[in-house]
Structure 1
Amino acid sequence: MPLGGKSGRLCLFPQPCFKELPVIIRLSLPVLAAAVLLCGSATSSAQASDMAKDLAGIRQATQRFRDINVALSEGYVIAPPGHCVDAQAEGEPRQLGAMGVHVVRPDLLGITAMSPRVNGVGINTDFTRPTVLVYEPASNGRYELVAVENLIFAEAWHAAGNPKRPEFHGNEYYKVIDNPLTPVDEAHGFEPHYELHIWLYRENPAGMFMPFNVRVKCLGEHDEH
């Protein structure tokens, strides 16, 4: 006898088939669907709350670096050549904006070589002690903190047993590699690495974790354009 009885309908359950299930079960399906949606919404809210809590902790741990002299006294150094990095310098459309001046912690980067490109074994992902602080230079010679960043050398990261790129609350780090066929240095002198900015101190219309910020300016950069 065919599965499902004489009619030949495929049914893996005793008669009647699904469309003939008792009314109470069919009425429960919308309720079940609503419960699933509510569960998903609750999960998303919890994740957002966790990220907000971590961002608040990062701000509390790094706000003292709004004074660049504090950062320099704690082991940060202005990354050579010390210029303000903007999108155009990275081979990207200039309308994307800029990053700023990068001030780095060599010990957290675990630098092992400076030539031909900067290399290291650093795989720090703790934004409460970021490997990089990003500042916007002002016309009066002062520096304003705009973002914190972690930079992780790709080879060291994967050698440590990490098959996937690092992430922060689901926001994946960007992988940066220089293209030798272009005149610009997309990796700003570093070996292939992962990096992620958090624009805690300067709102970024494109998103808190985007590489560039249109509200950051590099004074005097590319004035010929």
Structure 2
Amino acid sequence: MNRTKTGLLSMATAAVLAMGLAPGTAVAHGGSGHGDSDHSDDWRNNDDQRRLVRILRNVTEDYRWLKNAKKDGYKRITECIDHPEGGAMGYHYAKEDLIDDKTQPRKPEVLVYMPNRSGEFRLVAVEFISTADDQPSIAGVDFEKGPFPDSWALHAWVWRDNPDGMFAAFNPDLSCPTKK
């Protein structure tokens, strides 16, 4: 692995971990996640977005179980990220060799997990991370400011309903487990 990718992942990890602890998490990573973004649930009426969701569900089907993602090289880069006003993203697992300036529907850079009632981690969303110079979009959905400098991000809640919309950053129906 080249030094640039290692540096990017280290920077992303540090930034995302810091975000999970900072009160400004939403501002630092994709808006409030509480319906004030352009990402409504109109995706069902948009052919490109419906196609994107189908592709993402297809390519991540095996990753619904965390052990499969780990076997394929995804590594945990955050603890559970939540929003101080409610809602959460979850635990982020990244595949570092995918983090670059490209956006490929069949290769999401980050998988987002939450524990189910029995404590097993299950995939709830994917996140695209891009280091492109200009704001990228996919299926007509614009990325938002990403978790580290000069990055862009977009969540897609393909395995968990999100009342704030398919492409919202935070899911108000989720909360991070309390630390004991």
Q: 2:94 maps to which residue? A: 104
1:74 Cα shift?
0.5
Contact kept? 1:99, 1:212, Cα under 8 Å = yes
Paired amino acid for 1:67? W
- 1:168 is the counterpart of 2:146: no
Q: 2:155 maps to which residue? A: 197
Please say which of residues 50-59 and 203-212 is displaced more in the overlay.
50-59
Which whole-Å deviations, capped at 9, do the CAs of 1:49-68 have from their partners, x for residues lacking one?
23212321221111110011
- 1:73 is the counterpart of 2:51: no
Q: 1:129 maps to which residue? A: 107
Match of 1:146, SS?
Answer: strand
Match of 1:101, SS?
Answer: strand
Contact kept? 2:66, 2:121, Cα under 8 Å = yes
Looking at both structures, which has the greater relative contact order when contacts are Cα pairs under 8 Å and sequence separation is at least 6?
A: 2
Paired amino acid for 1:174? E
Aligned pair count reads 138
Contact kept? 2:137, 2:143, Cα under 8 Å = yes
Q: 2:83 maps to which residue? A: 87
> 5+ residue gaps in structure 1?
1-46, 89-93, 110-121, 159-163, 177-186
After superposition, where does 1:174-189 map in structure 2 within 5 Å? 174-176=144-146, 187=147
Larger CA Rg, structure 1 vs 2? 1
Measured in 1, the distance between the counterparts of 2:105 and 2:83 equals 23
1:139 Cα shift?
5.5
Paired amino acid for 1:51? Q
Measured in 1, the distance between the counterparts of 2:158 and 2:136 equals 19
One of 130, 146, 167 as aligned partner of 1:209: 167
Measured in 2, the distance between the counterparts of 1:166 and 1:59 equals 21
Measured in 2, the distance between the counterparts of 1:50 and 1:203 equals 19
Contact kept? 2:94, 2:109, Cα under 8 Å = yes
1:124 Cα shift?
3.0
1:87 Cα shift?
1.3
Paired amino acid for 1:133? L
Contact kept? 1:138, 1:219, Cα under 8 Å = no
Measured in 2, the distance between the counterparts of 1:196 and 1:102 equals 13
- RMSD over equivalenced CA pairs, Å: 2.2
Paired amino acid for 1:56? R
Q: 2:56 maps to which residue? A: 58
Q: 1:145 maps to which residue? A: 123
Contact kept? 2:81, 2:90, Cα under 8 Å = yes
> 5+ residue gaps in structure 2?
1-44
Give the alignment's TM-score, normalised by structure 2: 0.69
Contact kept? 1:173, 1:196, Cα under 8 Å = yes
1:69 Cα shift?
0.6
Q: 1:29 maps to which residue? A: none
Paired amino acid for 2:138? F
